[in-house]
Structure 1
Amino acid sequence: MDQLIEWDKKHFIHPTSSIRDQQEKGAKVIFEKGEGIYLTDKNGKKYIDAMSSLWNVNIGHGRKELGEAARQQMDQLAFSSAFSTFSHEPTIQLAKKIADLAPSNLNAIFFTSGGSESNDSAFKLVRHYWRIQGQPERNKIVSLKRGYHGVAAGATSATGIPEFWDMAGQLQSGFVHAATPYWEGTQGSIKSIREVIEAEGPETIAAFIAEPIQGAGGVLVPPSDYFQEIRKLCDDYGIVFIADEVITGFGRTGTMFGLEHSGVQPDMMTFAKGVTSGYFPLGGVIVSDQIHGVLKEKSMGTLFHGFTYSGHPTAAAVALKNIEIIEKEGLVENSRKMGELLLEGFKKLKADLQIIGDVRGVGLLGAVELMEDPSANKRFSPELKVAGKVIEALHQRGVICRAVAYEGTDIICFSPPLVIKEEEVKTLLEKLREAISEVAQELSVKS
């Protein structure tokens, strides 16, 4: 174990982690096994994975069916390129399956290796779409503050979380951000987007992108009418609407895709994460029949965009088995039911514990916000790092969650596997109550 920790320090630069903490304290946990909603570390300690690792292990850990699907595909054809119109059966089948699941106007898919690549691909494809129609000046992307779209160059620039901008110190041009509806409401956000469009010039705007629920921004759930208004706004200006379903897709919100709650069809949709439940890297962009029609008619010669693993046959085989399990085991419906139970538990905690402010959730995507005085909308001082303290208290109790701290907010995010059972939801809520109560007592706040 000590040798692993030293090798980790010396040789492994961790993603989205503190390099200094890694060097001073070593790896926080070294996991060895996963089963269902649980992860077990090298010391034998068992944790509830209340984040599905990175919002993505939808069917739970340890599903041997996916390993078997990968093995069978690797025995037959592990990999071959999809460049130059080469193809293979599992990817064709997966494209058809996803098209069947997606909104009816979305039927053609460009495959990637993950969410960041998917969003970067969407931006390039939508700019190409306008260019081949003789409108190359339509190249700007409008997104929302607190939105998260990945860490590739374009995706980082579309992301509305400043911490991700600061890392490299420079963003790509052509990306502008408007107010999120979570704090501004539907009309406030729509007004902000219109102001951005008018300031930049409508003739320069290629697309608007948003998550049905802003995940990494703090599980920010928009008002129920928001995306109907977004659809109208995009239609008014002739702007392409891109739905980022990387977190919300494949059952996470109690529907197959998050935007189904709004009854709205986007022009493009990006996906990743839950399509394979993290068992193999895979993502993609689904485009509307109208956009695909323009590409088929006007895109001459080679489309000079593609990744080595676009349409990876083994990834496709894993995704097909993953989707089969989601459908066969009724995990979309379980997400809805268990999500209702989880949200009900959050509301009870809010009634019982003084430092809980807003609670929210859609399916198995939820959040609890902590405040010094919710009745006065008074937030904790950022120096207290209250959300971080609760995360650590949960960790000690064998629960893995995620904290979001932004402009004085203290948010605890939840995204457990869709296989979670009623008793497991109750256990998670009990441990959350204990953790928040402990931190409240430490802060001398009545709970």
Structure 2
Amino acid sequence: MSQSPSECFSHALSSLDKADLVTSDRRHLLHPQHHPSDSADPFVWVHGDGVFLTDIDGRRVIDGLSGMWNVSLGHGRRELVDAATRQLSRLAFSTAYAGATHPPAIALADRLAGLVPPSIHAFYFTSGGGEATDSSIRTARYYWRALGKSAKTTVIARELSYHGSTLGAASATGVAEFSEVFGPRLPGFHHIASPYPYRFTSAPGDRRSIGEAAADLLEEAIVRIGPHNVAAFIAEPIQGGGGGIIVPTDDYFPRIRAICDRYDVLLIADEVITGFGRTGRWFGLDHWGVRPDIMQFAKGITSGYIPLGGMGVSERIKSVLDGAPPERRWWHGYTNSAHPVACAVALETIRVLDEEGLVERAARQGARLLQHLRNALADHPNVGDIRGQGLLVGLELVADRPSKERFAASDAIGERVRRELLKRGLYTRVLPDIICLAPPLVTPEQVIDQIADIVVTSIEAVLPR
């Protein structure tokens, strides 16, 4: 009897040891943010179950970052597999270019319209977050050009932001490493400081709050560049991978919205990490009641089970797209735009998030995790800041707490802490001095407490009081 493809794969896997796999990996694979030094002894993941990952050596660890901030429903959710299988057997692919459509895309756009901020009216689907960023930027520029304001092309972003790795998205990203080794960013991008409450410093005598002062940097930049030249401001509601979970003060985004309105600048909300319940609300900007002109998303919309991203635009933007002459249409699209299988999985993901109350659960579990960490580490001399919103939490380590002095790179604090976390069964991202935590929204209370205990004991192991 012949074996199925999955059986053949399982047999092949069992017949190879880790050394063989790693040798083949190093010979033929280029990884995201590739460097061979990181692949000398990589994890070879072979199984996921709930909030746990298992590697080829049988090591089982807590997935403390939900894969890459995206596996919100945990691993092995049968409902998502079944949704993909049903759609694959019915219609595996069809184009969604103008003049064609299919039910999963229509249903997903309709469902999203009832979840997003009221300002968002219509949706375009991509394969991921980087494509969503490029789509948002191109749409903002198209919009102003269609209105006869062709000089409005500059996009203002923030330092320590992350918007993706395509050429346009990396130009918006405010972390230099993602651009400088490839040459200069594209022209037309400008960066301002982030609203980083722990490290933001105002001028002596400045009576403004941190949020007000940080937001006013946008106004200063718009005035300096010229409002007639600025198309959009793009911002993550909470800065994730680039900044290490930077949560703005409550007065920041309302002021940003007012500034954008004052100077006729579009506000693009990058909800790729913060969307679909991660912060304890459906979308990050919901915490402040701020309505964007464009909202982009990815990651949690399918719980990472299949690639999907996209953007939503306001009714005034859609009306401009709809009113353009055919020869001046919105010439933008990808082969996999609105992929039917991805749309079907997204619909099922949203159903599970809603019916299981996981958005509200994220708020509760995130508060539990923060409280546990603060109770245990609030007086630790090397823990400078413990911050978060929902199940998006960051702990910033410092060499000296009163001065907020950072550790020297040669201290390798992040790597040493990461090894201790792994030793105790937690796999997550550790920036040079910030531990990032974003476990699945389905994480049980006892595992939330376990994550906190592992973080506490790992910090104590590397930085004893």
Compute the TM-score of the two structures, normalised by the length of structure 1.
Answer: 0.95
Q: String of CA shifts for 1:266-320, please: whole Å, max 9, x gaps.
A: 0110000000010010000100111111221235334311000001000000100
Correspondence for 1:383 among 374, 390, 410: 410
The SS at the match of 2:74 is coil
Q: Paired residue for 1:193?
A: 218
1:211 equivalent in alignment to 2:236: yes
Residue 313 of structure 1 pairs with residue 302 of structure 2: no
Moved more, 52-61 or 380-389: 380-389
Gaps of 5+ in 1: 442-446
Are the aligned partners of 1:132 and 1:299 in contact in 2 as well (CA < 8 Å)? Answer: no
Q: How does 1:18-417 map to 2 (within 5 A)?
A: 18-22=35-39, 25-26=40-41, 28-182=42-196, 183-184=199-200, 185-216=210-241, 217-298=243-324, 300-301=326-327, 302-405=329-432, 410-417=433-440
Provide, for residues 31-54 of structure 1, a one-character-per-residue CA deviation record: whole Å limited to 9, x for no partner.
Answer: 111111110111111010010011
Maintained 8 Å contact 1:350/1:356: yes
AA aligned opposite 1:305 = H
Equivalents in 1 of 2:325, 2:159: separation in Å? 33
Separation in structure 2 between the aligned mates of residue 404 and residue 88 of structure 1, nearest angstrom: 42
Contact 1:90 1:316 in 2 (8 A): yes
Shift of 1:84: 3.0
Q: 1: distance between equivalents of 2:98 and 2:259?
A: 38
CA distance in 2, matches of 1:43, 1:379: 36
Question: What amino acid maps onto 1:422 in structure 2?
Answer: E
Instruction: State the secondary structure of the residue aligned to 1:249.
Output: coil
Structure 2 vs 1, CA of residues 38 and 190 (structure 1 numbering), >3 Å: closer, same or farther?
Answer: same
Which amino acid in 1 is paired with 2:463? A
| Residues 36-87 of structure 1, C-alpha deviations (whole Å, 9 max, x = no match) | 1110111111010010011000111111111111111011100011113200
How far, CA to CA, are the matches of 2:419 and 2:151 in structure 1?
49
TM-superposed deviation, 1:352: 5.0
Residues 18 and 395 (structure 1), Cα distance of their counterparts in 2 relative to 1, 3 Å cut: farther
In the alignment, structure 2 segments of 5+ residues that lack a partner are 1-16, 201-209
Amino acid aligned to 1:13: L
| Residues in 2 aligned to 1:160 and 1:385: alpha-carbon distance in whole angstroms | 23
Matched letter for residue 40 of structure 1? T
Report sequence identity in percent.
43
Amino acid at match of 1:432: V
Instruction: Number of aligned residue pairs: give it.
Output: 435
Equivalent residue for 2:32, pick from 15, 18, 27: 15
Alpha-carbon distance in structure 1 between the residues aligned to 2:131 and 2:325: 21
Q: 1:3 aligns with which of 20, 24, 32?
A: 20
Q: Give TM-score, length-normalised by structure 2.
A: 0.92
SS at match of 1:181: coil
The separation in 1 between residues aligned to 2:177 and 2:384, in whole angstroms, is: 24
